[in-house]
Amino acid sequence: MQCLLNPLKLVVTGDDFGYCPRRDVGIVECFRAGAISNVSLLVNGNSAASAANLANRYSIPIGLHANLSEGIPVCGELHHNSTLIGAQGVFHGKMGIRKALVQGLLNMAEVRQELCAQVKLFRELTGQNPQHMDGHQHVHVLPRIRDVFAQVLHEHGIPYTRVPVEVGLNKCDWIQGELMEFYRGVENDALNTVEVFKNHGIRWPDIYIGLSTMGKNMTISNIQQALDYSIQSLHSCQSPTQLTLSYQYQH
């Protein structure tokens, strides 16, 4: 049976907007050059307020990059004696939050409190509701956190997120060792998140690219190859309508 595909829309998101002024300038330059479609704001980033002003000045569509893994909480009540922070008074980190979650050390009520505080601060900084909301370092698809995350999106009227499952990831031979193992774990968590998001009426692009092209792996050839793998998948009968490319410098 031959499938008729719907027109495909490419959405390129600049993550970590608000992390630091230098990164913000680069992201704005990309938007003005037509290289990216929108941005995701880290409201606890060092330059969150100025980044929000830049988005407003240049009419950049903006969403929330919810952060539970890096920096300090937005909610002042969680700065001390919170399960979300470690001995240094900051979030546990990309791997630390996953370890704490496996050990059952995270209080989901505090996760909810922080996510709601970040939505509130986003509204204060930008004057609008987030157009989309996803998780810094993909924390939004982690077990238990995914359920709280979906509830917060539904309650705050945020209809869009991302599901980081990348077609052709296993073919990307430039990713090796522990990094590939981590990405496969992200994909597994993301697949287990699908029903949770569906049950809350949340939507996401049909195809995602981003795991294979972060940090030093973000080269023109790698991006082209990842896009080729995705385009090849369009020959299936699912008729995808939107492809999202996550533009993120992973440090």
167-170-176 Cα angle (round to 5): 135
- Whole-structure pTM over 0.85, yes or no? yes
Give the DSSP per-residue string, 7-28. Answer: PPEEEEEEEEETS-HHHHHHHH
Q: Which residue has the tokens 């981590």?
A: 182
pLDDT at 228: 84
Residues 105 and 44: their CA atoms lie apart, in Å, by 23
Domain ranges of the chain: 9-247
Residues 163 and 209: their CA atoms lie apart, in Å, by 10
Tokens representing 119 are 């939505």
Q: pLDDT tens digits, the chain, 251 residues: what are they?
A: 344 456 678 889 999 999 999 999 999 999 999 999 999 999 999 999 999 999 999 999 999 999 999 999 999 999 988 999 998 999 999 999 999 999 999 999 999 999 999 999 999 999 999 999 999 999 999 999 999 999 999 999 999 999 999 888 888 888 888 999 999 999 999 999 999 999 999 999 888 988 988 888 888 888 888 888 877 766 554 555 555 555 454 43
pLDDT at 217: 85
Q: How many Cα atoms occupy the beta-carbon half-sphere of 178 within 13 Å? A: 1
- Catalytic option among 15, 24, 189, 206: 15
Using DSSP's 3-state secondary structure scheme, residue 233 falls into helix
Considering the segment(s) 9-247 as one domain, its CATH architecture is: Alpha-Beta Barrel (3.20)
70-213-35 Cα angle (round to 5): 95
Residues 35 and 28: their CA atoms lie apart, in Å, by 10
Whether 24 is a known active-site residue: answer: no
pLDDT at 1: 34
pLDDT at 82: 96
195-160-28 Cα angle (round to 5): 140
Per the DSSP assignment, residues forming a β-bridge with 41 are: 17, 64
Selection from 94, 55, 49 nearest residue 71 by Cα: 94
